[in-house]
A and B are shown apart, each in its own frame.
Chain A
Amino acid sequence: MSAARNATKSTLTHAPLLAAAAITLIPIAWMLCAAVKSGEDFKWLFLPRGDGFLGIAWDHLTFSNFTRLFGEAHMGSAILNSFFVSSVSAVVATLACAAGGFALARYRFRGRGPITVLVLGALIIPPPLLLAPTYELLYHLSLLDTFTGLLLPGIAPAFGVFLFRQATIQSVPRELLEAARIDGCGELRAFFVIVLPLLRPMIGAFMLITFLMWWNNFISPQVILQDPQKFPLAVAISQLKGVYYQDYGLQMAATVVSVAPVMILFLLLQKEFIAGLTAGAVKG
């Protein structure tokens, strides 16, 4: 292939990709711009026009949205709550689902068939169907307005068990387990020492998915938690919205603050994430 043809070919691939990337980024760029604008500059689509460099009124830009955001009560504790809720759920759910998924994939025991069907069946339940009965149940368990009540229903999602079952089928060789048993390794020890390390990619992927899900979760914390000190970011930010008016600058600043941590986490777990998804999708 000649160099010229190569160049055309690469332009042909890059042009549509770049266009798609630009379209994807426009709303995000818009959000970033909105976060550094004050109310009256909202009439400008992106950055306010003026006579500064590139025709932009740089002196109009402001960090006041961010300072106002952190000046609001509870914002620091909201960030702590979000980290707490998301990371604890991610760790516990990963362990619980890995254990369950492994058991379903590598043991023959009474009830295995029905449990596998249950796991798949749970995927089709519309979550709002359970919202009211769950609220009632949490009340009777005295778990309303507690982190336990918020986290407990979600620490062993069926979807995760399914993903780990798939991952186990793919990447935990039976022979290895047999060898371990012959060496006298107990079943539970084998799970922690042999199986978990082999499930590394799915662990990374599932942790990321769970973390993201809880980080952005909005409806259940809003229903279950009552004390503003316990609110995670998504709920605390929604409280910033006035009933009769909107403060977009503040809300966009809050979005920027809330996206940054998950963006970093995604970058760190990207490789596992993709490998994990592959494992989950084969042999459906």
Chain B
Amino acid sequence: MHRSTFLKFAGAALATTLFASTAAVAIDVDAAIPSYQKASGVSGSIKSIGSDTLNNLMTLWAEGFSKEYPNVNIEIEGKGSGTAPPALIAGTSQFGPMSRPMKAGEMDDFERKYGYKPTPMRTAVDALAVFVHKDSPVKCLSLAQLDAIFSKTRKRGAKADAKTWGDVGVTGEMAAMPISMYGRNSASGTYGYFKEVAMEDGDYKDSVKEQPGSSAVVQSIASDKGAIGYSGVGYKTADVKTVPISAKEGGTCYDATSDNAYAGNYPITRFLYVYLNKNPKQALDPVRAEFIKFVLSKQGQQGVIKDGFFPVPAKVALDDRKAFGLN
């Protein structure tokens, strides 16, 4: 469902202009996203608890925001998307960054306490990248092959379990090498999203090595030639490479680039969300309103690029500003 909403937002014009560019050229923020205008009388404190994927991004926004308002006291904690809803419900945080949409159960818990649902803000686009070691000869994997590598239930219908690289079509000296899988811990939204989209909600194998952070996944892969793992594309380093992914067996493989993400070709693309507790009957307090405006402004979206993710299209940014009653 979330992928279909995603496709809807990928403006055709935007996609074509982006297709013309090559991956080496730096991504730029959609020109229709307005620049941030400073407001007066903003002070107070912001506390954000949630996703680890969004941790650096929140920090970058906080740095930019405190440049505009040096007296706003900002604290950021990121231990996984699963920690965002409880903190929002308990009122210990105002912002709940999540790398996956909130589950129905979490929504209900929130609604039971406040009488309304939390409001999401789509802050960035992430192609959830599948990384392998930089010397790995893997050229392309299908979702079914990924499922066979990571899942013990194989809901995507792969016939056999993939234990060695030879099982997913690698030839040469690496064919006999066992696949060593790295993933995130279960509090992570990345873990949840990968499970939902790549594995159709199947179960992870017990042999997947769970890492406490996205960067830890990438570092583990960097030192293990037979490794494969997933995390936000923003965490890519020179020691790993992304594997192009095809949605169907034998289909075209698309790499985790901004063009493929916007066009919806890359099959595990997602939005990165920040959830807020907004009472529909009241206007937002100035600090939170300005922070949202900042995130969905040109400056905020440049922060997204700086962190290696992709900025949202202008339509998404403007729609979400409207959802919070901001222009």
A joins B in a complex: no
